[in-house]
Structure 1
Amino acid sequence: MSPVSPVDPSDPVGPAHQAGSASPDRVTAPVASSAPGTARPRVALSTVVLECSDAHELAAFYQRLLGWEVERQEPDWVKLRAPGRGDGSGGTGIALQSDGTYVPPVWPGVPGAQQMTAHLDFEVADLAAATEYAVASGAALATHQAADDTRVLFDPAGHPFCLWAGGSPADAGHG
């Protein structure tokens, strides 16, 4: 994949997060079609893929943590989905993909180290109970915690994820 080349910040279809296109506290997303007169085709996020050393081992962890089911699996790939969501009715799954060159990210970030490019946020009703359950399921609690209503943990492959206690979807995305 080649890097994104700089484009005009006023371009309605250019990258929404390029330098200078949004204020630091607000990112705007493009809303125009990719080509004038062309309708946007149906595009739905079906899964988030996490690289790891052993897809089946990491899938077993997320099955314990979330109670999700295996939707599909191959020797180096497993896709999980919430129960009852394997019928194509929607809902994003999690896929785990084995990669022999996988290097876990470092969190919090350290210059020169493998950076975290994404993380998963899970809303919970009882932060203490959910944290205890996640650790019992195989997660590790991060030494550094960013907020009182959030717990940062690492899955067995070293991916950071957050458990957070919140009341509305607007509270998400803080981890």
Structure 2
Amino acid sequence: MRYLLLPLLLLSHLALAEPAELDWLELMPEADRQALEAMPEISHDGAEQDGAFYTPGGLRQQDQSLPPVMYSAKTVATLDGKPVRLGGYPVPLESDAEGRSTLFFLVPYPGACIHVPPPPPNQLVLVRYPRGIELADIYAPLWVSGTLRVEPVSNELADAAYALDAGSVRLVEEADL
């Protein structure tokens, strides 16, 4: 009996463990990563200095003079259907009756909705979280865990190359760092 208990405990621990952490650059194909690393320094000045929350065009790329990698929607097919944990910053889209965000973009850096240029579509993830989370501060980083999908998403604010059906969303805590 004792020999049966140990495997069951181990399996229950693994079932509760969070999925493997995914780095934002892993969402880009290798050619895009190399192009991004080779890209010259660009200005990130934007509407933030004016106190604006969303720039005209939102997270859509407006500057047509940037290298093609800044418009890339190329994805990594092997990530489709994978359970992942991704850290990032929310750009709220929809809320429930209690004001909890149930649909938002997750972006790799804070204030992506007001910085210029915004991230390319393969660096934007639409998060669906029916349980919702209260987002008091869009500059507070989140951990989002769930199933990642290669799924082109387009709305008035942005184009994204991925969507994530979240099982859990939580604020990053001091102990995580």
TM-score by length of 2: 0.27
TM-score by length of 1: 0.28
Q: Of Structure 1 and Structure 2, which has the larger fraction of its residues in strand?
A: 2
State the structure with bigger RCO (CA 8 A, min sep 6), 1 or 2. 2
